Amino acid sequence: MKILIGVTCYSKKDYIIDKFIDSLKKLNKPQDIVVDILFVDNSVGSEYKAYIESKGFKVISSRSDLEPSQVRLTEAYNVLRDYFLSDKSYTHLLSIEQDVIVPVNTIEKLIKHDKDVVSGLYFLGTKPCVMVGKSVKTPANKLREFRFEPTYFKYDFIDMNELTLKQKAKEIIQVYCAGLGCMLIKRNVLEQIKFRVIHNGNLFRGHCDMYWSMDCRSRKIDIFLDPTVICEHFNSNHI
pLDDT in tens, the chain (239 residues): 999 999 999 998 999 999 999 999 999 999 999 999 999 999 888 999 999 999 999 999 887 766 667 777 889 999 999 999 999 999 999 999 999 999 999 999 999 999 999 999 887 665 556 655 433 333 333 333 333 332 333 334 444 445 554 555 567 888 777 889 999 999 999 999 998 877 655 544 567 788 888 889 889 999 888 888 888 888 765 44
* CATH superfamily ID and name for 2-121+159-238: Spore Coat Polysaccharide Biosynthesis Protein SpsA; Chain A (3.90.550.10)
pTM assigned to the model: 0.82
Domain ranges of the chain: 2-121+159-238
CB 213, CB 177: distance < 8 Å: yes
* Residue length of the chain: 239
Distances from the Cα of 144 to the Cα of 71, 152, 214, angstroms: 28, 11, 18
